[in-house]
Chains A and B, each alone.
Chain A
Amino acid sequence: MKNLKLNKIRNHDFITYLMVLIAFLIAGILSVTGQMSSLMEGLLVPLCIYVMLAISLNLTVGILGELSLGHAGFMCVGAFSGAFFSKCLDGAIPDGLRFFIALLIGAAVAGMFGILIGIPVLRLKGDYLAIVTLAFGEIIKNLVNVLYIGRDEDGFHFSMKDSISLNLKPEGEVIINGAQGITGTPNDSSFLIGAILIFISLIIILNLIHSRDGRAIMSIRDNRIAAESVGINITKYKLMAFSISAAIAGVAGVLYAHNLSTLTASPKNFGYNMSIMILVFVVLGGIGNIRGSIIAAVILTLLPELLRGLSDYRMLIYAVVLIAMMLFNWSPGAIEWKERMKEQYFSKFPFRKDDKNMKKEVK
């Protein structure tokens, strides 16, 4: 029995991996053979970024069961630390190695912030926690906007005021220039790297979920007091989930920073709006459902682009579609209706029974 259950779980994950792989292959082949529109080709890296953000936030929201509204903050930290490193060492070491180290740095710095933010998490819950994560995200964005770092022969200069007070020598260069951010980051991100990073994140998260640690994390979600009473170290597991989630978001940030030649922290890309957008991916795809997050992230990133033909009505229709999808996916009425439709039309399919059994066992 136990073996069977494990197999089912593996099967479930296998479908997720397979789906990503097939999507990657189709997109890759279309892109290489030049069959893809420029828009789609330009969207490939952003899609990877949003998929990573969605699955990493799902770890916090779906698996740990804590609402976070500051995920874009981790992305911001990762993006700026990675881009800063790349900008400093551009040309000094081989590009591939530099980008690899930048990714690691982004992950490490964001992970550290994850632990930092994880500490209040231990005391707060629900909406109070949500507001604290939102606050952290906004603080990070605000601080990055007033951060000035320059470099000349004497080394690095820091300022929180303006680039004049860096007192750089004439030949020195300003690397992070406050609101103007970092410009001229080398363009290293590619769809291949993005896809590899998605795979790595998936492996980390799915394995974590099925490990002893993952079950401990889920037990905290389901009943904190019961988990504590059987001796689960709540502090450790909460911080673990938070920092892993943050680190993956940081990597996505590095990918983001190396995809565009300009990196600024605006309300649009690193503000609470983005955090909420990532949360939308997670909720629409199904809380705790990693595969759902991937699909939702892809659809909601493509949707506004595919609606461009509607010009002025684009964002309006987007909002309507978002509300409609939420109602369709989540309202008990719609769910019941879908159930009936399924019973009526799909009951003959053999895989359905299988699926039912599996779900029971997982529960």
Chain B
Amino acid sequence: MKKYKKLISFALASSLAVSLLAGCGKAADGGSTSSGGDVFKIGGIGPITGDNAEYGMAVQNAAQLAVDEINAQGGINGYQIEFKFEDDETDAEKAVNAYNTLKDWGMQMLAGTVTSGCCVAVAEKTVADNMFQITPSGSSVDCVKHDNAFRVCFSDPNQGMASAQYIGENGLASKVAVIYNSSDIYSSGIYETFAAEANNQPFTIVSAEAFTADSKTDFSVQLQKAKDAGAELIFLPIYYSEAALILSQSATLNYAPSFFGCDGLDGLLGVENFDTSLAEGVMLLTPFAADAQDELTQNFVKAYKEKFGNTPNQFAADAYDAIYAIKMAAEDAKLTPDMDVSQMCEAMKASIVKITLNGLTGTGMTWEPSGEPNKEPKAVKIVSGAYTSM
């Protein structure tokens, strides 16, 4: 039996050698294209397999949609854009691999990554290469700590703070329960600032219960505790796929508090086959609503549905805005594809703080040099299966 090990080792070792050589070949290509092409190469990174695939795919699709639109209108400064999206499986190490793959391809600017943990790891690499980065949805504080990184979405602390203030100022409830995902950066980040800000607000948190990525099917305990504590409102700083389960289990328990969420909850109505009556009265602070009446949103939603067959969520909207932000800043900076990555980054950094973007996730969006966007969160309420502004 052991005899073959040698043969197999040889086979494996030779395939290894081949793969190494293949890697070298790629290096040569990468080197030549990054300097002096006639297209802009924009990369994107996010999970398109694994647990968070639906969020990554939304970003991939919407960014591609924006790129196609821009190309059809003549591109940026007369140059076409090439867009390439790589999978990171929501793993920081894989995200860095994806980033390196894109670099070999000749990426000049990065519209990514989708999730916070990966974004922090990749931001460390983009700052070393001085590459311009704008993340659609990386919301943790550290995502934009370097000056080459910007984001489209709100930061976690910002959302936690805004939610607590909104609930307090509008007197939505006096007893609030929180259900959050303690194994998720986004969710625990929002929860922390929410809890801190709650001390300054006229409501009390009567129960704060967590769940983890490994036990996110049953929420009966969390709901029962909120019910026993007499919570009138449950704050859900989580994504919509878990929220859909919470809503249906709450209905089974005959417990009907108000629900309040952040931008992660957007997409709830897009869950295929979801009984929207369960979501009646759910409030959320989100910059984007797929059934908003403005022309931009309607065109986007129509085009997205035609092309990909489902309703875009806030991830998609953020990605779409990210590409348009790149376009606008690049036009302001008079960028040409023959500039090198670092020159581009410097020019983009100077320009992005000057632009004002009327995007899907906010009108009159501007950026701070710190990387944060300035836009107003909109509070919306789900009434008869549709968002209504509050």
Binding site for B on A (CB under 8 A): 19, 23, 26-27, 30, 34-43, 46, 138, 142, 145-146, 162-164, 178-181, 183-184, 187, 256, 259-262, 264-269, 271, 286, 289, 291-292, 295-296, 298-299, 302, 305-306, 308, 311-312, 314-315, 329, 335, 338-339, 342, 346, 355-356, 359
Contacts and interface: CB of A to CB of B under 8 A. Distances in A.
A306 B130 CA distance: 26
Contacts of A145: 182-183, 212
Given A142-B214, A183-B120, A312-B48, A39 B9 contact: no
Nearest to A318: B49
B4 A335 contact: yes
Given A142-B183, A289-B2, A315-B87, 19 more contacts: A27-B20, A30-B24, A39-B101, A39-B103, A162-B192, A163-B192, A179-B183, A183-B120, A260-B124, A261-B121, A262-B142, A266-B91, A268-B89, A268-B94, A271-B214, A295-B12, A295-B16, A299-B16, A342-B7
A335 B1 contact: yes
Contact of B7 (A38, A40, A338): A338
B13 interface: yes
A162 to B, nearest CB: 6
Nearest to A359: B2
Interface string B85-105: 011011111101111110110
Interface in B1-41: 1-9, 12-13, 15-16, 19-20, 22-24, 26-27, 30
A286 to B, nearest CB: 5
A47 to B, nearest CB: 10
Nearest to A46: B93
- Interface of B, secondary structure class, is helix
A338 B93 contact: no
Contact of A180 (B20, B22, B91, B140): B140
B271 interface: no
B226 to A, nearest CB: 17
Contacts of A266: 90-91, 117, 183, 213
A179 B22 contact: no
Contacts, number: 171
Nearest to A355: B6
Given A291-B9, A292-B9, A299-B16, A262 B120 contact: yes
25 contacts: A26-B20, A27-B20, A37-B104, A38-B100, A39-B100, A39-B104, A46-B93, A142-B183, A142-B214, A145-B183, A162-B195, A184-B142, A261-B120, A261-B121, A261-B123, A268-B94, A286-B5, A291-B9, A295-B12, A305-B101, A306-B19, A306-B22, A315-B49, A355-B3, A359-B3
B107 to A, nearest CB: 10
B184 interface: yes
Contact of B92 (A40, A262, A306, A339): A262
A264 B87 CA distance: 19
A174 to B, nearest CB: 10
Contacts of B91: 266, 268-269
A165 B268 CA distance: 32
B102 to A, nearest CB: 9
A42 B97 contact: yes
Interface string B350-368: 0000000000000000000
A50 to B, nearest CB: 10
B385 interface: no
Contacts of A162: 188, 191-192, 195
B185 interface: yes
B50 interface: yes
B213 A35 contact: no
B22 to A, nearest CB: 7
Interface string B42-69: 0000001111000000000000000000
A329 B11 CA distance: 11
A177 to B, nearest CB: 8
B127 to A, nearest CB: 10
Contacts of B98: 308
A339 B196 CA distance: 68
Given A180-B140, A183-B142, A269-B93, A308 B103 contact: no
Contacts of B12: 295-296, 299
B2 A308 contact: no
A302 to B, nearest CB: 5
A39 B26 contact: yes
Interface string B168-194: 000000000000011111011101100
